[in-house]
Structure 1
Amino acid sequence: MQVGSLALGLAAAVGWGVADFLVARVGDRLGTVATFAYAQLSGALVLAGAVAVVGAPTDLPPDLWLALGGLGVVGAAAYLLLYGSLQVGPVAVASPIAATNGAVAAVLGVVVLREPLGDAGAVGLALVTLGVVGSSVDVADLRRAVRGEATVLPGAALAVAASLALGSVMFALELFGDAVSLLALVLAIRAVGGLASLPLVVRSEAAVSPRLLAQLVAIGVVDAAAFVCFVLGLRAGRVAVVGPASSLFAVVTVVLAWLFLKESLTATQRVGIGLVLLGVPLLAGV
């Protein structure tokens, strides 16, 4: 039974889904780079506040800090690739590909760490992955892409890179286990993205209204909270469960667009959501 880790993975999915919903709205006005920069910087500032209250971890050797810093670089690059793939598009191709990052993490956990999955878990992983991909697809846009009315390769290539990078980061976080404090992990991921984003924010010529700035800060805060839930989920269970569960952020984004933007759900998306509902209990061994 992996109910606790599943719940934390789903909480991470909700946070990342809300963040991506806001990114989709803000990105059209500011562009990928500016949205990425502001969101990463706001998340880093939230982290700075946490460090000021609790104190920075100082018990790690330099080589471990270096490894965490490298992980932060990959994580920041993964976010930029994800935002870029969604902007270059078509979204009907890029989004389903990027949403497979949880499956990448799960496969790495099973192959490298020999994490037990079992027959039911394997079926659950397949159903969840297919459901996430299906719920991310806009069939009409996909048909236009197949007919050559939209350029597919650039967005698809970025999405593949984003999925591999995000899945690798998810898996790598499992390797640190309980040896590294939660704050140290968050510090590594968020500090690198924040520092890299600072010059981008300073040089950005995009006009940022107070309302837009509030949304950007919300993206950073919610994204950081989701990351904390994900790491806690890893410590409560296995990446083979938490990774796919957290990848449901794509489904959350689709549902939010349906609820608040009145976007209709296609038959494929409804089937995808149904597959997710079938697969999640199997994945957790319920």
Structure 2
Amino acid sequence: MISLIFGLIAALCWGIHDICVRYVSQQVGAFPALATILIVAALLTTPFAILFGDWRAMDLSAIALAAASGAVFTVAYLGLYKAFEIGPVRLVAPILGAYPVLSVGWAALSGQGVSWDQWFAVGGVITGVAIVGLLSRDDESGGSQSAAIIWAVLGGTGFAGTFALGHAAAHAGSELPVILVTQIVAVLGAIVLLLAAGGIRLPTRNALPMLGFMGLLDCVALGIVIAAAGMARPEFAAVASSTFGMITVILAWLILRERVSPGQWYGVAITFTAIGYLAI
């Protein structure tokens, strides 16, 4: 399915992006990095949305849903950045990537049928996350592991809400304007967070190329997941995109040299096997 392929492309973009987050958030700070990346993403989207977007289809409900998606996206990225700032990657990445659990729960609450094997996969996600968390040590983090877990849960919940609201907005309006409105609201939210954290702080010049690259990755990933709203089974794009955590863990092992014990690899394998099954 095309929506599933879109989700996998988004996962690759966010997997590379999150490895960059681990470096940039510690060197530049989470809020300046977040604001810069979201501004770059919005600037990249603007010309396409203006030239090719169907703005006449954007009624008040579509604008409101897109704005809500952007606000929740800010919360999602805040959770992601703070979680990776504390780390370790192998602890927070599976939690962040477990948001398909919320998709299944929302489907059940909405009256859609959820089979026993899907619930079994949900249990696998929770079990794998618990194994990784229990086998991590405090001295492997940049702070409290309980805080890292809380931020990661906030981030994962935010991503699930972002995609649900974004798809609803795209159905009510048009994909490109929805993406741009979502990004603009996310930028405003990031600026508010930046001001609340002590005022505007510009990233160093050396960090700008990486931040620009991360903005491009974010633009592609968010854009194609929301654009999947017009395809069959758009939820598959959101579910498939959650596998970014698997890419992040592997890259952290290869690049950051984070030690992963056999037991933790087992927990990661359970988590992402279950997530993959939910994407089928």
Identify the TM-score tier after normalising by the shorter chain: 0.7 to 0.9
Distance (Å, rounded) in 2 between the aligned partners of 1:280 and 1:96: 10
Q: What stretches of structure 1 of length at least 5 have no aligned partner?
A: none
RMSD over aligned Cα atoms = 3.4
Which amino acid letter does the alignment assign opposite residue 232 of structure 2? Answer: A
2:173 to 164, 167, 180: 180
Partner of 2:220: 225
Q: 1:100 is paired with a residue of what secondary structure? A: coil
Equivalent in the alignment of 1:215: 210
Per-residue deviation, 1:11: 2.0
Q: Secondary structure at the match of 1:236?
A: coil
Aligned mates of 1:15, 1:144 — CA distance in 2: 26
Deviates more, 1:215-224 or 1:86-95: 86-95
Contact preservation (8 Å) 1:89, 1:152: yes
Distance in 2 of aligned mates of 1:161 and 1:198: 19
Q: How many Å separate the matches in 2 of 1:40 and 1:236?
A: 28
The counterpart of 1:259, out of the listed 254, 257, 266, is 254
* Cα pair distance change 1:278/1:86, threshold 3 Å: closer
User: What code does the residue aligned with 1:75 have?
Assistant: F
Instruction: Tell me: CA distance 1:40–1:178, structure 2 relative to 1, closer, same or farther (3 Å).
Output: same
Aligned to 2:157: 164
CA distance in 2, matches of 1:94, 1:281: 18
| Separation (CA, whole Å) in 1 of partners of 2:163 and 2:200 | 30
- The structural deviation recorded for 1:44 is 0.9
| CA distance in 2 between partners of 1:151 and 1:53 (Å) | 47
Q: Which ranges of structure 2 fall in alignment gaps of 5 or more residues? A: none
- Contact residue 93 and residue 142 of structure 1 kept, 8 A: no
> Structure 1 pair 95/135, CA: closer, same or farther in 2 (3 Å)?
farther
Q: Distance in 1 between matches of 2:97 and 2:31?
A: 20
| Equivalent of 1:86 in 84, 97, 119 | 84
Cα distance change on mapping 1:103 and 1:34 into 2, 3 Å: same
What CA deviation, in whole Å up to 9, does each residue of 1:245-276 have, x standing for no partner? Answer: 32221111111122333444322342245335
Aligned mate of 1:54, from 46, 52, 69: 52
Of the three residues 240, 244, 250, the one matched with 2:245 is 250
Q: Which residue pairs with 2:265 in the alignment?
A: 270
Query: Structure 2 counterpart of 1:82, which letter?
Result: L
> Using a 3 Å threshold, how does the CA distance of structure 1 residues 140 and 40 change in structure 2: closer, same or farther?
same
Task: Report the counterpart of residue 23 of structure 1 in structure 2.
Answer: 21
State the partner residue of 1:141: 137
Separation in 2, partners of 1:18, 1:78: 17
Cα-to-partner distance string for 1:33-75 (whole Å, 9 max, x where unaligned): 1111111111111112323442562322224312321221122
What is the percent sequence identity of the aligned residues?
23
1:121 maps to which residue?
Answer: 118
| CA–CA distance in structure 1, aligned partners of residues 238 and 187 of structure 2 | 24
Which of 176, 186, 192 pairs up with 1:193?
Answer: 186
TM superposition shift of 1:26: 0.8
User: Which 10-residue stretch deviates more, 169-178 or 71-80?
Assistant: 169-178
- The TM-score, its normalising length taken from structure 1, stands at 0.79
1:69 and 1:92 mapped to 2: Cα distance? 32
**Is the contact between residue 90 and residue 260 of structure 2 (CA under 8 Å) also seen in structure 1?**
no
